[in-house]
Amino acid sequence: MTTTGGTTAGATSRSVSEIMSHPVVTATGDETIATVAARMRSQRVGSVVVVEGDHAIGILTERDLVRIAASMTSSETVAEWMTADPDSVSPDVDATSAFASLAEHGYRHIPVVDDGRVVGVVSMRDLMRIAQIQPADNLAHDVPRGLEGVVVAETSIGDVRGLEGFYHYRQYDAVELAETRSLEDVWYLLYEGALPDPAERRQFADEVRPLRGIPDVVRSVLPAIASAAEDAPPLDLLRTTVSLLGASLGFQPSLDLAATELRAQALQVCAAVPTLLCALHRLQHGLPVIDPHPELGYAANYLYMMQGNVPDPELARGVEQYLISTIDHGFNSSTFTARVITSTGADLAAAVVGAIGALSGPLHGGAPSRALDMLDAIGTSENADAWLRDTVERGDRLMGFGHRVYKTDDPRSVMLRSVAERLQAPKVEFAKHVEERATAILAELKPGRKLYANVEFYAGVVMDACGVPREMFTPTFASSRVIGWTAHVLEQAADNRLIRPSAHYVGPPPPQPVPQAE
């Protein structure tokens, strides 16, 4: 272990002892990772110092927890994963010189040791900020990782109220809209700010339905795209074809367009996305492409283009309710992505392609089929308790449970459960049993975490009942969310300011001479 001495703090500079955290959160080497990870979370610290008596023998950080999670191993002790014999810093050292010597090693957290005894812990971030190593104009605001809870824009499109289990589009309860309105009505609401009257509804349908066709130049290359990547997720192919669609239609930078022109492009892309998805899906399965049906509403046409026959209206309505419930949901990652891209003045297709990329990630929209896979893995109601308990005790997650924002029932899950019941979905009774047991077991094994079924849990049950194949679950989600993304694009473009935040530099202190290339 090396203890950094360096310059002792003078009258004007601040010493490590003034900025360190203490009492220090500690662990012993024989404790389990799970116990210590829970302690770090509850104490809101990024590291624990591993001690034997008063002496630091190691340090375990958030980074180590990420490595442990990635290794997919379980039941280790702290001693197996900690950095043993860590470097430390003396409490009387001034912050600037502590930073300069320790940043070189890339450490983020360092125990503060006085006469062999651990007296605190200091993070590089604190040191750097206090030492004022960054120019003052870079020190604007420190925000939580992942921007959780940070307000970065104003919007009139909608909002999510996690504690109340409520979300809305414009001024209306989204669930009520899904229960009472068509998707086109809600699309109109998002774009225009008000629900349509009958004349506006007809006019909107007349405007949108002809846009469902794919321009010939794009259509002609779809077979080649589908066969070049026949096992690729349909969303990956959608990304490519939306880019081509925008380029072939000559989309201009949003910065150069009038609001009416940008709106027309938004309608065009939203109308074409379901057609592109169904065409790509069918081509990937060696089936002929089916043209849009001019008489069918949005969801019925979607199923028609996917399955090849006019669907049962009840099933089409089930899918439509799912689509309405997923059009928009606060400032989620893909929506934020679309707004960032639009803020640069880039064209609308670029914003949608970026948003599709963000949605494809498993932490965002990439996992709705996993809940259904879990039901398959459980198999029978008799198996449910043991399977669920084993999974949670092993430290694994129950798919379709928990939510970053909702700490009560997810209103989308409640609505989709009732849709699944109404459709008498084949898996609904089993799913309800699993939901009830999972909620009880999570409450027992993860007390206080407030884990309930989320939108994914019954979405799979509903889409399965409506004949949507699993690989089309996330694409179906994208086909409605594109309406939300483009509503945000229009809002951003109407009152634009480049979104360009800052980052704290935490690497070794500059400037270093550039080494000669070998």
Ligand X SMILES: CC(C)(COP(=O)(O)OP(=O)(O)OC[C@H]1O[C@@H](n2cnc3c(N)ncnc32)[C@H](O)[C@@H]1OP(=O)(O)O)[C@@H](O)C(=O)NCCC(=O)NCCS
- The residues of the shown chain that bind ligand X, judged by CB under 6 A, are 38, 41, 367, 392, 397-404, 442, 446, 449, 451, 454-456
Instruction: Give me the least distance between CB of 456 and ligand X, in Å please.
Output: 4
Torsion angle (degrees, nearest 10) of CA 392, 398, 402, 403: 130
List, as one string, the DSSP characters of 475-501. HHHHHHHHHHHHHHHHHHHHT------
Instruction: Give me the least distance between CB of 251 and ligand X, in Å please.
Output: 31
Structure tokens at 484: 């939300």
Count the Cβ atoms, other than its own, within 10 Å of residue 320. 26
Catalytic residue among 184, 435, 456, 491: 456
Distances (CA, A) of 30 to 50, 77, 78, 118: 10, 6, 6, 19
Pick 33 or 269: Cβ nearer ligand X: 33
User: What's the distance, CA 355 to chain centroid?
Assistant: 11
Pick 8 or 35: Cβ nearer ligand X: 35
Instruction: Give me the least distance between CB of 367 and ligand X, in Å please.
Output: 5
Q: Is residue 398 within 8 Å of 388, Cβ to Cβ? A: yes
Whether 403 is a known active-site residue: answer yes
Instruction: Give me the least distance between CB of 404 and ligand X, in Å please.
Output: 4
Instruction: Give me the least distance between CB of 37 and ligand X, in Å please.
Output: 6
Instruction: Give me the least distance between CB of 446 and ligand X, in Å please.
Output: 5
Region of residue 384 (phi > 0: left; psi between -120 and 50: alpha; otherwise: beta): alpha
Q: What number of residues does the chain have?
A: 518
Whole-number Å distance between alpha carbons of 352 and 348: 6
Pick 299 or 398: Cβ nearer ligand X: 398
Task: Please report how many Cα atoms fall inside a 13 Å half-sphere around the Cα of residue 127, on the Cβ side.
Answer: 29
Structure tokens at 465: 């009942």
Catalytic residue among 403, 435, 488, 491: 403
Structure tokens at 157: 């499109």
Whole-number Å distance between alpha carbons of 229 and 66: 32
Pick 32 or 248: Cβ nearer ligand X: 32
Q: Is residue 109 within 8 Å of 21, Cβ to Cβ? A: no
What residues contact 394, with CB distance under 8 A and at least 6 apart? Answer: 74
Count the Cβ atoms, other than its own, within 10 Å of residue 261. 14
Position with the least CB separation from ligand X: 402
Burial 424-458 (b: 16+ CB within 10 A, else e): ebebbebbbbbbebbbebbeeeeeeebbbbbbbbb
Pick 42 or 156: Cβ nearer ligand X: 42
Q: Is residue 95 within 8 Å of 13, Cβ to Cβ? A: yes
Instruction: Give me the least distance between CB of 406 and ligand X, in Å please.
Output: 9
**H helices, E strands: number in the chain:** 23, 11
**Residue 236, exposed/middle/buried by CB under 10 A (0-12, 13-18, 19+)?**
middle
Q: Which of 177, 224, 187, 184 is nearest to 205 (CA)?
A: 184
Instruction: Give me the least distance between CB of 306 and ligand X, in Å please.
Output: 23
Instruction: Give me the least distance between CB of 412 and ligand X, in Å please.
Output: 9
DSSP 378: H
Q: Is residue 28 within 8 Å of 77, Cβ to Cβ? A: no
Q: So which residues are the catalytic ones? A: 403, 456
